[in-house]
Structure 1
């Protein structure tokens, strides 16, 4: 049977037992403005629709719904190790246990997946600009027992550099913490005093500084592709996509 879910599978040299996908908005039952595969339970969508959507995802990936490590994301740097009870307040998760799914919800913020080349640990991070600037990616890198040179990362669908207009306070915050952060900001074609930010570039800079040079992805824009992706910047009230990673036995 052909799947109705439009899943993105990272193009990166992960070990065979590392599996990862990023959902799009296609294949669910949610009604406008959340149509259709909304997986976020915090965006005022019908809870029954969210439950059906999460069930479809679980069925597609051959998991029980309890395998998903959903988080209550707050744009911070807290990391939890799965399995954990309930829905913890955190913006990153990691696990060494097969069958535990690290799950991040986004609609413009940057989802980042991690694994080591030996296939013994995986992790996922929610990196909006605040969490990225505060060090959420560095927290994830520090959680790995493998040397940083053995860690690889994948940057999932996020707001692209041609769409992410920010105020000077965002640029100033990054420049205060990164020597090369100014390279990720441009004044071209925006309101006076504002900047276009490249969150993919900023993430690569932070990862490189943390010792992770093998970084893949970073070529999808959630704002520009309204058919495939949710975008809070574009639509305001909208759904959430999930970016997931796990280890197989």
Structure 2
């Protein structure tokens, strides 16, 4: 089966500043009509029906929800979506957190994961892998893409916070460009995925804080969200 993975940028949409322009989040204060228009364009550009986009109400937790495309609203209080239904596109929204797109192409199972500092710490990635296995995936066949996120050079945090995340997600703690305590979540999550037995792991190196074509909450405060999307072609 063919797996598709897409990561959006902030360009080409209907939203006005500070959400300019391709904001896909409906919870950040943007005009609802503009978000609707952007989501409609997303579906059109992907060649999918709008009702085949699966959204989630992200809460920085570790819940993984299996969906099949019959849902009529976003999955509640969920930070990972899993499906074995071809043509159902899973969407994760971010503006510094790590979007993770997982797939076992042979089994036809995909997952989209929202892994911020808190979600990574409490184990959202292992939860997503467990849900994928429940849906028929095998860990050794899973391929992962860690999408654009704030990099360790930019993600400054208090020393005790860095130590706490490092305890739960080894490999995350780092020094920032200024020499202060920081977090490189993609590095820690890469190691976690490898330790879980995931076969192939790719990284999109773009930093949301540095790249002005992407949304960044830390850089801008009130802002929009880019999306990571994955699906099995029907």
TM-score normalised by L of structure 1:
0.87
SS of 2:168's partner is coil
Is 1:86 aligned to 2:73, yes or no?
A: yes
Contact 2:101 / 2:145 at 8 angstroms: preserved in 1?
Answer: yes
- Aligned-pair distance for 1:177? 2.5
Aligned partner of 1:58 among 43, 46, 57:
43
- Whole-angstrom distance in 2 between the partners of 1:101 and 1:159: 24
Residue 4 of structure 1 corresponds to none
- Whole-angstrom distance in 1 between the partners of 2:58 and 2:79: 5
Residue 129 of structure 1 corresponds to 117
Residue 28 of structure 2 corresponds to 43
Residue 200 of structure 2 corresponds to 214
Equivalent pairs counted in the alignment come to 228
- Whole-angstrom distance in 2 between the partners of 1:59 and 1:175: 41
Deviations 1:49-108 (A, max 9, x none): 001111111111111211111111000011111133422220000100011111100001
- Aligned-pair distance for 1:199? 1.3
Is 1:225 aligned to 2:211, yes or no?
A: yes
Deviations 1:25-70 (A, max 9, x none): 0000100000000000001101000011111111111112111111
CA gap 1:114/1:187 in 2 versus in 1, 3 angstroms? closer
- Aligned-pair distance for 1:158? 0.5
TM-score normalised by L of structure 2:
0.92
Residue 187 of structure 2 corresponds to 201
- Whole-angstrom distance in 2 between the partners of 1:200 and 1:86: 30
Residue 90 of structure 2 corresponds to 102
Structure 1 runs not aligned, ≥5 long: 1-14
- Whole-angstrom distance in 2 between the partners of 1:104 and 1:188: 28
- Whole-angstrom distance in 1 between the partners of 2:184 and 2:140: 24
- Aligned-pair distance for 1:175? 3.0
CA gap 1:188/1:160 in 2 versus in 1, 3 angstroms? closer
